[in-house]
Amino acid sequence: MLVGNHERSITSGAAPPAAAPTDRLPARRMAAGVAVPVALLALTGAASLLIGSGEVGPVRSWREVPGGARDPEAAFAVWHLRGPRTLVAMVVGAALGTAGAALQAVARNPLAEPGLLGVSAGASTGVVLVIALGGSAATLGPYAAVLGALLGCLAAVGAARLRGVGDDPLRLVLAGAALSGLLGSLTSVLLLVDNRTADEVRFWTVGGVAGRDLGALADVAPALLLGAVLLLLVARPLSAMALGEPAAAGLGHRPRRARLTAVVAVALLVGGATAVAGPIGFVGLVVPFAARALVGPDLRRVLVPSLLLGPVVVVAADVVSRLLVRPYEMPLGVVTALIGAPVLVVVARARRVPAL
Amino acid sequence: MSLLLRPRAALGGAVLAGAVLVAVATALAVGTVPMSPLRSLPALAGAGDPADILVVQRLRGPRLVAGLLVGAALGASGCLMQTLARNRLATPGTVGIDDGATAFAVASVVGASTSLAPSAMALAGAATAAALALGLAGGAGTSGYRFVVVGLGVGAVLGAVTSLLLVRAPIDAANAAFPWTVGTLNTRPAAAVTLLGYGLAGCLPLALLIGRRLSVLRLSDSVAAGLGVRVRAVRLAALAVAVVCAGLAVAVGGPLGMVALLAPEAARRVCGPYGVPVLGSALAGAALVLLADTAGRTLAAPVEVPAGLVTAVIGGPYLLWLLLTSRPRRLP
Amino acid sequence: MTPPATPPSAQAADPSAVLRADGVTLAHGQAIAVDTIRLAPPPGRLTAVVGPNGCGKSTLLAGLSRLHRPAGGTVLLDGRDLARLPAREAARRIGLLPQSAQAPDGLTVADLVRFGRQPHQGLLRQWSPQDQQAVDRALTATGMTALAGRLLETLSGGQRQRAWIALTVAQETAVLLLDEPTSALDLGHQLEVFELLRELAAAGRTVVVVVHDLMLACRYADHLVAMKAGRMVAEGAPREVVTPELIRRLYGVEAGVLRDPDTDRPLVVPRGLAP
């Protein structure tokens, strides 16, 4: 026998499985991955209802929560201003969080984020075009946003193949940056051509959920739902693509089809979210980052906490935006950029880029 | 200087220099007062019709110089950045320099707590962004990856600040700040142009020197070290030169989009894929900015289109083409 | 040398499945990489594909695993055209370990092996007790049970490769295709992987492995396929086909071929470049 010790190492493992720990560990992590975000969501949701930039403070708001309208001003603030806005923020956050997780899986790159990759810029350019051409942002916005997001996505994924050195995670991000720059210039051209829309566009390009109502949400609901369904369908192949495309193909998936479906799903989600709230960056970076820390790298597991943490991040950012420059409000996109940039620095400073 | 002796590279350099000359002639010739080179060139030297001399020396000349310098600086800077990041898409803009310059200049224009000249603020903004990125990244790092990504984050925050300033500002102030968000040669503060001239005179030879070292660095760090190149020092020097060039350029013209991306691309096309075409990129950048500015001030006259928008409109389709036509790997 | 005990996973494999390449031509664009190859790797045996760099052996494996659609000829699985089989059904019968496969950080061995059950799952059929049993069997068969909870990046190269093989074993396919599974491993780990592959073949699977190392192929293969420039130049038991002429033809190397007195398998001793 030439290889006694190796032989033994194989057969010794064949002893009766010592109460295989294979199924319990993920279950416990998964429980934490749901419980922690749910608790955070409840907290931020409550904060969003109770805290505002105006006159109605938390105590007055709290008394009004059971209903009854004893304090009409507080009731209005809680249920007509903050309530819808919180709901919009939650939906937008959920869409951006899951889209970020999916995009990172498609690109196999922890830096792949709808904002950094130019997907959000594509969506907002679509909406700006509609505004500039005199269309109604409310009715045409969602379509233009989804279309723009799709173009941004395709350009970014195409860029992932652009010649560079090895499997460099930078390529994708640089392509996104270049694309975002280009689309930003395009928006500037539109502003220059048409001063009339400049003010509306300028306000819209910062991103925010203030004053957005449930009607705006209803306009984009079909896009968001379709995106969510596509994402569910493609979650399994996409998770297998984390092992490399040949391995995924070996497991009976069709990587090209899965990638394309995922890209469409991301475009629908980001386009829908952007049509409601404008470009909100970094949510798709921060959320999957936190979700992976909770439940590990498998996309199918990551999607669950992403769905819950997305709303947490956006709602929390919205609450902060009301408090920073009282009595005014800070644009939401600025707050998420302030939250997201440090995470980006952390990801970049990791000794090597975590493989995804 | 064996790289410069390659026939194709030398020919390419000549072609690009020719392009710069054509751009100069065009810039002098066209405008509200059309002028043939037979009139404009003597006027540049101070001979001929006093009206021509006024137009050329006071109006078109300074703008021409500013365009040449800005383009050359951005081109050289882009070339260095692309080689550093080993990526055709890396530009000084991607590490936040553009966003920093814009944010600070806009802050100055809309009057947020400062009365400094916008161009000085732009320079300060570019320096701040670069320093922040470098500090947060903890050095230039291997292949500049960390620096670029952190710079991207810094740029995003500064971009958000710009948006915030513009939203807060009254519409008039926001419109006044607009040129600083797209890049133009219309303002071109004289002090900033002078500074850029001195800076470029110092940086360009340095960039050429570093470029030759960098061409070895393109292989891999260990190979370069084995060939006796001090990898970290070269990288840091290249970064410093790139940042100084870009910072001085944005102080003159604001963030001129795509120039730093297009100029090295053009230089590689023309000069062939040898070495690091710093000089070619500088020439291509100068020609590009000058042509874009000339087009911007004449095509839609009397409305002046900022040069930054012209370069973006030229560069955009090229970038998209670049992104979408790279051949994918095939899988079922 | 006693044959290893039949691992429990043997029951799951379907011994009747036969993979056959019938005049298969594979091309990258215009360039033909594999030229009309006929091949029928015997079930229950370990088949090794050898040849110089760029001879098309990896492409052949991609063709056998339907990753690469033939430009001519057909790959047949139990007499049915593989290209027409639904992807998932094919993946339930052919397992593939691609070259230099890489997993994301933070994945445990058990997480990785679970992926092998994906071809057996559908929209309505999620994780089931059968899947769990298949994963446990695969871990047992590859001796990875004790390491199931470990993170992949904490394992040695050989252990990691065994975890990947466990993934394909959990797929419970009759055919197992592996592309250079030992390329980055040291000698001990190389033997570890090949011992495992031989066990898997002995359990009734058709195992086809592309190897760089002729010595390993001679030591472990039941059936050897030698390729050069896209064509098959020899096929058969190593002791019959490995000759000095074959080695000269494949690699341009003069070599002596001796017999290992213990195993009666060929030992290749390179002597120098052929003139």
Q: Give buried/exposed letters for A63-94 (b at 16+ CB in 10 A, else e).
A: ebeeeeeeeeebbebbbebbebbbbbbbbbbb
Confidence at residue C18, expressed as pLDDT on a 0 to 100 scale: 84
> And the tokens for B58?
């006071």
CA closest to A249 among chain C residues:
C67
Distance (Å) of CA C158 to CA A21, A47, B307, C205: 22, 52, 59, 22
> And the tokens for B197?
């001239």
Parallel/antiparallel/unpaired status of strands C223-228 and C231-236? antiparallel
Please provide the average confidence, as pLDDT, over all residues in chain B. Answer: 79
B330 located within any domain:
no
Question: Which residue of A12, A20, A21 is in closest CB contact with C143?
Answer: A12
* Segment 175-194 of chain A within 8 Å of chain B by CB: 175, 177-179, 181-182, 185-186, 188-189, 191-192
> And the tokens for A125?
């350019």
CA distance A302 to chain B (A): 24
pLDDT digits (tens, 9 = 90+) for B262-309: 888 888 888 776 677 888 899 999 999 999 988 888 887 777 788 888
CA distance A244 to chain C (A): 6
Question: Which residue of A240, A244, A296 is in closest CB contact with C118?
Answer: A240
Confidence at residue C225, expressed as pLDDT on a 0 to 100 scale: 94
DSSP output for B139-194 = SS-GGGHHHHHHHHHHHHHHHHHHHHHHHHS-HHHHHHHHHHHH--SSS--HHHHH
Average pLDDT over residues A17-34: 60
Is A12 an 8 Å CB contact of chain C?
yes
Q: Is B305 in Cβ contact with A337 (below 8 Å)?
A: no
Q: Is B332 in Cβ contact with C87 (below 8 Å)?
A: yes
Q: Which residues contact B11 (CB under 8 A, 6 or more apart)?
A: none
CA distance A14 to chain C (A): 5
Is the confidence at residue B126, as pLDDT, over 80?
Answer: yes
Is C28 an 8 Å CB contact of chain B?
no
Is A225 an 8 Å CB contact of chain C?
no
CA distance A93 to chain B (A): 19
pLDDT digits (tens, 9 = 90+) for B54-88: 777 777 888 888 889 999 999 999 998 888 777 77
Confidence at residue B219, expressed as pLDDT on a 0 to 100 scale: 67
CA distance C193 to chain A (A): 9
Which range marks the domain in which residue B292 is found?
Answer: 2-325
How far apart are the C-alpha atoms of A165 and A170, rounded to whole Å?
10
> And the tokens for B120?
């000085």
Confidence at residue B163, expressed as pLDDT on a 0 to 100 scale: 78
Residues of B in contact with A186 (CB under 8 A): 312, 316
How far apart are the C-alpha atoms of A184 and A202, rounded to whole Å?
12
How far apart are the C-alpha atoms of C81 and C85, rounded to whole Å?
7
CA closest to B316 among chain A residues:
A182
Residues of C in contact with A236 (CB under 8 A): 118, 121
Q: Give buried/exposed letters for C2-26 (b at 16+ CB in 10 A, else e).
A: eebeebebbebbeeebbbbbeebbb
Is the confidence at residue B332, as pLDDT, over 60?
Answer: no
Size of interface B-C (CB pairs under 8 A): 5
Q: Is B331 in Cβ contact with C87 (below 8 Å)?
A: no
> And the tokens for A330?
């800070």
Q: Which residues contact C70 (CB under 8 A, 6 or more apart)?
A: C24, C25, C26, C63, C83
Question: Which residue of A111, A170, A192 is in closest CB contact with B309?
Answer: A192
Is A167 an 8 Å CB contact of chain C?
no
Is A233 an 8 Å CB contact of chain B?
no
CA distance B108 to chain A (A): 19
CA distance B156 to chain A (A): 7
Residue segments in chain C with a per-residue pLDDT below the cut of 70: 1-17
How many domains is chain B built from? 1
Q: What is the dihedral of CA A181, A185, A186, A187, to 10 degrees?
A: 100
Size of interface A-C (CB pairs under 8 A): 152
Confidence at residue B270, expressed as pLDDT on a 0 to 100 scale: 83
Question: Which residue of B87, B91, B309 is in closest CB contact with A171?
Answer: B87
**Domain spans of chain A, in order of start:** 50-207+221-349
How far apart are the C-alpha atoms of B201 and B69, rounded to whole Å?
10
A324 against A239, higher pLDDT? A239
CB B104 within 8 A of CB B128: yes
Q: Which domains, ranges and CATH numbers included, belong to chain C?
A: 8-104+173-188+199-273 (3.40.50.300)
Residues of A in contact with B154 (CB under 8 A): 341
Question: Which residue of B160, B175, B309 is in closest CB contact with A185?
Answer: B309
Is the confidence at residue B331, as pLDDT, over 50?
Answer: no
Average pLDDT over residues B111-130: 76
CA distance B124 to chain C (A): 41
Residue B162: pLDDT band by 50, 70, 90 thresholds? confident
Is C125 an 8 Å CB contact of chain B?
no
Give which of A119, A115, A145, A146 is closest to A285, Cα–Cα: A115
Is the confidence at residue A33, as pLDDT, over 90?
Answer: no
* Amino acid residing at B205: P
Residues of B in contact with C67 (CB under 8 A): 331-332
pLDDT digits (tens, 9 = 90+) for B191-249: 788 888 898 898 888 888 888 777 777 666 677 777 777 777 888 888 888 888 888 88
DSSP output for B183-228 = --SSS--HHHHHHHHHHHHHHHHHHHHHHHHHHHHTT-HHHHHHTT
Residue A6: pLDDT band by 50, 70, 90 thresholds? very low
* Segment 240-259 of chain A within 8 Å of chain B by CB: 245-246, 249, 254-256
> And the tokens for B253?
């013209």
* Segment 177-236 of chain C within 8 Å of chain B by CB: none
Confidence at residue C164, expressed as pLDDT on a 0 to 100 scale: 92
Q: Give buried/exposed letters for A321-340 (b at 16+ CB in 10 A, else e).
A: bbeeeeeebbbbbbbbbbbb
How far apart are the C-alpha atoms of C247 and C245, rounded to whole Å?
5
B297 located within any domain:
yes
How far apart are the C-alpha atoms of C87 and B261, rounded to whole Å?
43
Parallel/antiparallel/unpaired status of strands C175-179 and C206-210? parallel
Residue B116: pLDDT band by 50, 70, 90 thresholds? low
B44 located within any domain:
yes
Residues of C in contact with A354 (CB under 8 A): 104-106
Is the confidence at residue B330, as pLDDT, over 50?
Answer: no
pLDDT digits (tens, 9 = 90+) for A38-73: 999 989 988 888 887 666 777 777 776 666 667 777
CA A268, distance to chain mean position in Å, is 12
Give which of B162, B133, B312 is closest to B239, Cα–Cα: B133
* Segment 275-294 of chain A within 8 Å of chain C by CB: 292
CB A247 within 8 A of CB C101: yes
Question: Of A169-183, A284-298, B74-88, where does the model show the most confidence?
Answer: A284-298
* Amino acid residing at A334: V
Is A115 an 8 Å CB contact of chain B?
yes
**Candidate CATH numbers 1.20.120.450, 1.10.3470.10, 2.40.10.220, 3.40.190.10; the one for domain A50-207+221-349:** 1.10.3470.10
CB A354 within 8 A of CB A110: yes
Is B332 an 8 Å CB contact of chain C?
yes
Distance (Å) of CA C148 to CA C113, C164, C178: 9, 12, 22
B193 located within any domain:
yes
pLDDT digits (tens, 9 = 90+) for A83-112: 888 899 999 999 999 999 998 888 877 888
What's C108's DSSP letter?
A: B
Q: Which of C99, C108, C190 is the best residue to mutate to test the A interface, defined by the most A CB atoms within 10 Å of its own CB? A: C108
B139 located within any domain:
yes
How far apart are the C-alpha atoms of B26 and A267, rounded to whole Å?
44
Is the confidence at residue B124, as pLDDT, over 80?
Answer: yes
Q: Which of A154, A172, A192, A321 is the best residue to mutate to test the B interface, defined by the most B CB atoms within 10 Å of its own CB? A: A192
Residues of C in contact with B332 (CB under 8 A): 66-67, 69, 87
Q: Is A177 in Cβ contact with B152 (below 8 Å)?
A: yes
Confidence at residue B83, expressed as pLDDT on a 0 to 100 scale: 82
SS3 label, residue C75: strand
CA closest to C91 among chain A residues:
A252
- Interface confidence, given as ipTM, is 0.79
Residue B99: pLDDT band by 50, 70, 90 thresholds? confident
Confidence at residue A351, expressed as pLDDT on a 0 to 100 scale: 53
Is the confidence at residue B115, as pLDDT, over 60?
Answer: no
> And the tokens for A156?
């970014």
Confidence at residue A3, expressed as pLDDT on a 0 to 100 scale: 38
Q: What does R_g of chain C's alpha carbons equal in angstroms? A: 19
Q: Is A175 in Cβ contact with B153 (below 8 Å)?
A: no
Q: Is B322 in Cβ contact with A162 (below 8 Å)?
A: yes
Query: For tokens 């190269």, what's the residue?
Result: C157
CA distance A227 to chain B (A): 23
Residues of C in contact with A1 (CB under 8 A): 1
CA closest to C86 among chain B residues:
B332
Average pLDDT over residues A200-228: 81
What's A136's DSSP letter?
A: -
SS3 label, residue A65: coil
Question: Which residue of C66, C105, C121 is in closest CB contact with A354?
Answer: C105
Confidence at residue A195, expressed as pLDDT on a 0 to 100 scale: 65
SS3 label, residue A328: coil
The rounded percent of chain B whose pLDDT value lies above 90 is 6
| Least confident segment among A53-57, A289-293, B114-118 | B114-118
A80: left (phi over 0), alpha (psi -120 to 50) or beta: alpha
Residue A24: pLDDT band by 50, 70, 90 thresholds? very low
Chains that touch C (3 or more CB pairs under 8 A): A, B
CB C48 within 8 A of CB C211: yes
B100 located within any domain:
yes
Is C88 an 8 Å CB contact of chain B?
no
B188: left (phi over 0), alpha (psi -120 to 50) or beta: left
Confidence at residue A241, expressed as pLDDT on a 0 to 100 scale: 85
Confidence at residue C50, expressed as pLDDT on a 0 to 100 scale: 93
Is A168 an 8 Å CB contact of chain B?
yes
Q: What is the CATH number of the domain that holds B130?
A: 1.10.3470.10
Residue A152: pLDDT band by 50, 70, 90 thresholds? confident
B23 located within any domain:
yes
CA closest to B161 among chain A residues:
A334
Is the confidence at residue B13, as pLDDT, over 60?
Answer: yes
Confidence at residue A313, expressed as pLDDT on a 0 to 100 scale: 93
How far apart are the C-alpha atoms of C208 and C200, rounded to whole Å?
11
Confidence at residue A198, expressed as pLDDT on a 0 to 100 scale: 67
B225 against A214, higher pLDDT? A214
Q: Is C87 in Cβ contact with A249 (below 8 Å)?
A: yes
